[in-house]
Homo-oligomer: A and B are copies of this chain.
């Protein structure tokens, strides 16, 4: 099987109907380039993400799970911009053209792509150590992308869903007969769900937005840096599931603040827009938590056990328990 017949069989054919249904995509796999017509009045947003075997997943990981994590994590960047997904490209570097691996991978990639309404538009297949990059592409109304740079003093800081679940899932990879709570956490690790619909809702309300891939503190800090502001957080408001806390025991808050890979959205909202947004979110049954407020002082502080703690930049990735 050469590269061309491989691409044809595992990637072109399964996606032919999706390409047909995508009115923006003029040319998919099979030419020197793909061709995309961005709808009038819209802008293209795009992000490139890489997963490496032995670094981001175990070399023997199920190829289907790799496909879901790869695409879920990448599409999450579109959600963080308030964009609607449109198409993506795949750079697949693989040691050998193993039919079984490719079969599983491409099948699950197709399912994930269908779920997130994003069409495979092209890519490159090369021989080498297992490494996967995807570039996801989506559309926003001109000038309406949710950037990291718009947070201002007094804005509320919110997060979607719950934090630390993916970190707890990582702890359970070797559990043989997972119970329901453990299965939930493993699912949160294996199949991050990009908050696409929430991102779209936020467009008229949020002043800044980011997806939580490196951990809440690290990612919130990107907003603070780009916006030139600080923040005060309340530890008691950080959303954590019972399932996560049971696994984490004494580390629950640490995992929620620094665990990473939850792919929830962290965003800021001007107080004046809060009531209208809250109504929207309730109407769409979106669970969010207000966890703090933006300050003019360029510091990150957290209120915990009755007092304020200032968190140094070095603490974003290794928030200590003491």
Contact = CB atoms under 8 A, between A and B. Distances in A.
B45 A128 contact: no
A78 B131 CA distance: 24
Given A44-B38, A48-B91, A147-B27, A77 B32 contact: yes
Interface stretch (A119-127, A235-243, A244-252, A288-296): A119-127
For chain A, what secondary structure do more than half of its interface residues adopt (helix, strand, loop), or is it mixed?
Answer: strand
A90 B54 CA distance: 21
A258 interface: no
A288 B21 CA distance: 39
A33 B49 contact: no
Interface residues of A, number: 58
Given A44-B38, A47-B122, A81 B32 contact: yes
Interface string A48-80: 111111111000000000000000000001101
Nearest to A218: B4
Select the residue from A32, A38, A44, A53 with max chain B CB neighbours within 10 A.
Answer: A32
Nearest to A76: B32
A55 B128 CA distance: 7
A37 B43 contact: yes
A307 interface: no
Contacts of A81: 31-33, 35
B129 A129 contact: yes
Contacts of A149: 31
A248 to B, nearest CB: 25
Nearest to A91: B133
A297 interface: no
A140 B38 CA distance: 12
A75 B194 CA distance: 32
Interface in A185-212: 209-211
Given A33-B78, A36-B46, A50-B126, 13 more contacts: A31-B149, A32-B80, A32-B211, A33-B46, A34-B46, A35-B140, A36-B44, A46-B89, A46-B122, A49-B91, A55-B127, A129-B131, A131-B131
